[in-house]
Amino acid sequence: MDEVDVKTPPVIEAKRLTKRYRDRIAVDGLSLNVQKGEIFGLIGSDGAGKTTTLQMLCGILDPTQGRAEVFGYDTVRDAAEVTSRIGYMSQTFSLYGRLSVEENLAFFADLHRVPEGVREERTSRLLEFARLWPHRERPASDLSGGMQKKLALCTALIHQPDLLVLDEPTTGVDPVSRREFWEILYRALAEGATIVVSTPYMDEAERCTRVALLHEGRLIACDAPTGLRGQLPGLMLEVSADPQRRALSILEEAFPRARPYLFGEQIHLHLEEGTGDADALRGLLERREVSVREIRTVRPGLEDVFVARLSEGAPAPAVPIFSETERDRTGVAVEAVDLTMRFGAFTAVDRLSFSVRRGEIFGFLGPNGSGKTTTIRLLCGLLTPTSGQAVVAGRTVGKENQAVKSRVGYMSQRFSLYQDMTVRENIDFFSGAYGVPRAQRPARRDWALTLAGLKGEERRMTRDLSGGMKQRLALACAVLHEPEVVFLDEPTAGVDPLSRRRFWDLIYSLSDQGITVFVTTHYMDEAEHCHTLGLLYYGRLIAIGSPGELRSGMRAGEVLETECDQPIRALALFQGVAGIRPSFFGDRLHLLVDDAEAARPWIVDRLQREGHRIHRVERVPLSIEDVFIAMIEMEQARLAERQAAGSSA
């Protein structure tokens, strides 16, 4: 995003880097370089070779062919020199659960021989940056997922490496923790580090200086985000219409080559040059009884580029019908009244009350550690509540747990698949576990293979499937017994945008057929697709309603979306300024202010006085991510005030 030093030799230079595993090529002739001071991003479909590439650059894996140099050192011949100058954070980051936060940092400081004279100051500074100072004596195993990710980053930074290599570091992390994580990265960047990061989040990729797009081990494109967007020909139209799913179906039928898809509460439609007639498009939809709020030409984002480049030539997945059985779509499928779960003195779920209609897609949002997974396990009959009650598919949790389990499907964060079984063996195992009658199993197996897109792949080992394939197979296994309610716990964490879109087609299909879908997610664009959202914080339900209701009921202020050069430096201008809450939204700044019209001239003047080139400053509607962050911050402030009042009493 910001300017980099292109006069010095590259920090990383890879030439025809290749890695083979028997008959599979994981990375195929990759050549790229990374300059000092860059944030260099790696994106790509599941199984594209991102992790293998990073591990070769770090000297963890040796290439089959080609070579790479880091700071001029060969990653094979001089691996010790390379590893001494980098900080590496893998997807399965290494923390010691029984050690406290401070003890983990001390361990990694010893490992990297950090001098005693700077260790204490560096530890304190990192803990302050990461907002972990109040938790410094807690065991790492007791931290939330977001806190653990931030601590892992601190351990990678304790020796102040010249190069930071991060493999999908924010997967499964809530928006508030992701923002805090990236603030730590910006600090490291300002202090002279070079950063290479792989990510499934396209808004994070937008923040990178340059981005490499990998597919099936090959480099498809490498450029600055603006350059990649410029490689997408034609027009990108954004359509806001109700009902959205009907509008999408009409556009898919009318413009099959344009591959329209949902993008939050809008539909994005990529058209060839000269075919973007908004009036004709509006007429087409309105003749089919669709209400069109707005059609406008927009700048494509990296997610648009990703979907367009990697879906070229790929057939749209066929979604088979769930069952010929006519389902009752009236009434309540899930109801909780004062549902509470305590583990000793810790309250994980605190008097939750809500209801979910049959056929509804209900989204649970909340920071890591807010109680989402515990709530799902309660509703699935896997835990018995401490107090309160819940009725799921007509059966009472805690009293009829076995009956509850037979009526629900559950897909956990880890996909619940057996990696050492084949695709068919997994399907057959879950058919038996869910009690599918033997006579029906062949037909259900055939249905599941079609749903997962794995026809002809029955004998493949599950561990060899891509993330998107595992995801669809796990869903198919969870619904083999035709449950009334399906619980999906962060089902798209770490999955690429194209696979996420295909997975949501399956979720819509289940909902259309009267199946209730209860889903947790950290992707705010996915939250837009839910009929109702519930926001949890420390086990309490602090907001509930449709995405539109939550936005319209928000009284936190107005958002000015700001595009300018060097946005990382621009962000620092507004941090700590009274009346402005800055955050990143892709490569743009979102400045939450009380009055956008009054604040805009001051913001423009401040940027111009600091020498920034301003491309755009305009008011935009609150996104669900803006709402999420604002609500969490208000709840944090409320709890802090209550704590302060209690301590002074």
Q: pLDDT tens across 57-85, in order?
A: 999 999 999 999 999 999 999 999 999 99
Nearest CA-CA partner of 243 in 518, 19, 548? 548
Q: Would you say residue 145 has pLDDT above 80?
A: no
Helix (H) or strand (E) holding 28: strand 24-34
Query: Where residue 325 falls among pLDDT bands split at 50, 70, 90?
Result: low
Q: Report the pLDDT value the prediction gives residue 430, as an integer from 0 to 100.
A: 93
pLDDT digits (tens, 9 = 90+) for 338-397: 999 999 988 999 999 999 999 999 999 998 888 999 999 999 999 999 999 999 999 999
Listed residue (472, 546, 534, 462) closest to 509, CA to CA: 472
Q: What is the mean pLDDT of residues 462-486?
A: 88
Dist. CA 471–CA 152, nearest whole Å: 26
As a whole-number percent, the residues of the chain with pLDDT over 70 amount to: 95
- Find the length of the chain: 649
Give residue 158's pLDDT band: very low, low, confident or very high (50, 70, 90). Answer: very high
Residues 6+ positions from 224 with CB-CB distance below 8 Å: 209, 210, 211
pLDDT at 2: 54
The model's pLDDT over 249-274, given as tens digits with 9 standing for 90+, comes to: 999 898 888 888 888 778 988 887 65
Predicted local confidence at residue 143, as pLDDT: 84
The pLDDT, as a whole number, for residue 468 is 78
Confidence of residue 318 (pLDDT cuts 50, 70, 90): low
CB 598 within 8 A of CB 509: no
pLDDT, average across residues 125-140: 89
* CA pair distance 107, 397, nearest whole angstrom: 44
Give the CB-side neighbour count of residue 622, counting CA atoms within 13 A.
Answer: 22
8 Å CB contact between 555 and 582: no
DSSP H or E run through 101: helix 101-111
Contact by Cβ (8 Å): 148, 130: no
Lowest mean pLDDT among 311-320, 361-370, 477-486: 311-320
Backbone φ/ψ region at 94: left (φ over 0), alpha (ψ -120 to 50), beta? beta
Residues 6+ apart with CB under 8 A from 408: 379, 380, 381, 392, 393, 483, 484, 485, 486, 487
Would you place residue 421 in the very low, low, confident or very high pLDDT band (cuts 50, 70, 90)? very high
Please, is 401 exposed, middle or buried when counting C-beta atoms within 10 Å of its C-beta (0-12, 13-18, 19+)?
Answer: middle
Give dist(CA 223, CA 505) in Å, integer: 31
At residue 503, the pLDDT reads 86
What pairs with residue 537 in β-bridges?
Answer: 540
* Residue 332 CA: distances (Å) to CA of 287, 357, 519: 34, 4, 17
* Residue pLDDT, tens place only, 508-551: 888 988 899 999 998 888 898 899 999 999 899 999 999 888 98
pLDDT number for residue 310:
81
Neighbouring-strand partners of residue 645:
none
pTM (2 decimals)? 0.86
pLDDT per position as a tens digit, 627-641:
888 888 888 888 888
* Spatial contact of 491 and 471, defined as CB atoms under 8 Å apart: yes
Strand, coil or helix: what is 525?
Answer: helix
DSSP assignment of 314-374: PPPPP---S-SS----SSEEEEEEEEEEEETTEEEEEEEEEEEETT-EEEEE--TTSSHHH
Count other Cβ atoms within 10 Å, centred on residue 156: 23
Decide if pLDDT at 277 tops 80: no
Domains, the chain, ranges and CATH? Answer: 12-228 (3.40.50.300), 233-299 (3.30.70.100), 332-499 (3.40.50.300)
In 226-331, DSSP assigns E strands to: 235-242, 261-263, 266-271, 291-297
Half-sphere exposure of 190 (CA within 13 A, CB side): 13
Band (324; pLDDT cuts 50, 70, 90): low
CA distance 342 to 366: 18
- Span of 212-226, 422-436, 562-576 with lowest mean pLDDT: 562-576
E-strand stretches of 358-431: 361-365, 387-392, 395-396, 408-411
Question: Alpha carbon of 92 to those of 19, 43, 57, 317, 359: distances in Å?
Answer: 21, 18, 18, 31, 36
Residue type, 324: E
User: In the predicted model, what is the mean pLDDT of the chain?
Assistant: 88
29-46 per-position pLDDT tens digit = 999 999 999 999 999 988
Please compute the mean of the pLDDT values over residues 599-604 and round it to a whole number.
94
Given a cut of 80, whether residue 319 has pLDDT beyond it is no
DSSP string over 123-152? HHHHHHHTT-GGGTTSBGGGS-HHHHHHHH
Give the C-alpha separation, 465 to 473, whole Å.
Answer: 10
**pLDDT over 70 (residue 20):** yes
Please give the average per-residue pLDDT across 235-250, as a whole number: 90
pLDDT at 172: 80
3-state secondary structure of 392: strand
- b/e sequence 576-595, b meaning 16+ C-beta within 10 Å: eeeebbbbbbbbbbbbbbee
Nearest to 208 by CA among 69, 389, 43: 43
Nearest partner of 273 among 299, 234, 308, judged by Cα: 234
